[in-house]
Amino acid sequence: MRYQLYYWPSIQGRGEFVRLALEEGGARYVDVAREPESAGGGVAALMSLLEDKALRRPPYAPPILEAGDLHIAQTAAILAYLGPKLKLVPRDEASRVWANQLQLTIADLVDEAHDTHHPIAGSLYYEQQKAAARKRAGHFREERVPKYLGYFERVLERNRGGRGYAVGNAVSYVDLSLFQVVAGLRYAFPKAMRRVERSCPRLVALHDRVERRQKIAAYLASARRIPFNEQGIFRRYPELDG
């Protein structure tokens, strides 16, 4: 199958978790909004899908995966669908449910990371909420990041026989997402992460292992990988790093 991914063309955002799975799974896909408008792509194509009144199951927001007649939104739902098809999750039901649970926890972390720079409203500019952002980021750095990463460290520790992976004994979409979380937090909060990573050696090792995987390494070195920037979820504002 040839998948169509609809997401904003200039940021990694939540769409990056899907991109990583598609790349590692060797899937054929089109990142629609990054295609030229003359070829039916661009933001216009994304907005056209969001505004399509003919869809009986309309998505709320991107990322959206088009797979045949299906239009799947929400990152965790997309990955739960792709996981078995791309062999990025074990086949048994307990493992698939566990992977989805972990992915939903990652989604909570991602939301909190976003709210460090937009704690009042997403419709306001960062410059309009700097004071609140400083306060929110302080709590995130000191309390939430250690709690989340400590949890995932325990998940890795308790997956005995898992060869350092989170679910089962082979790479899963959860491992790819944990790689992205560590990379994103390192970009946004480099000082805080240097402190926290000392207590998460398994998570750091997982990040490094995923980064070295052949397909992921090729993707990271390609133009398909959008650099981190200050329009996405993980943003580097030095004043928020303590």
Contact assessment for residue 188 and residue 236, using Cβ atoms and an 8 Å cutoff: yes
Rounded distance, CA 236 to CA 166, Å? 28
pLDDT score at 147: 98
DSSP for 108-162 reads: HHHHHHHHTT-SS-TTS-GGGSHHHHHHHHHHIIIIIHHHHHHHHHHHHHHSTTS
pLDDT score at 234: 98
Query: Which strands, in side-by-side order, build the sheet including 28-31?
Result: 28-31, 2-6, 64-67, 70-73
Rounded distance, CA 224 to CA 235, Å? 19
pLDDT score at 1: 87
pLDDT score at 184: 98
pLDDT score at 140: 98
Report residue 99 as tokens: 């992977």
pLDDT score at 200: 98
- The DSSP 8-state label assigned to residue 27 in this structure reads -
* Intervals of the chain under pLDDT 50: none
pLDDT tens for 100-156 read: 999 999 999 999 999 999 999 999 999 999 999 999 999 999 999 999 999 999 999
Verdict on whether the full-model pTM lies above 0.85: yes
Rounded distance, CA 222 to CA 197, Å? 27
The b-or-e profile of 152-175 (16+ CB within 10 A means b, else e) is bbebbeebeebeebbbbeebbbbb
* Domains contained in the chain, CATH given: 2-85 (3.40.30.10), 93-213 (1.20.1050.10)
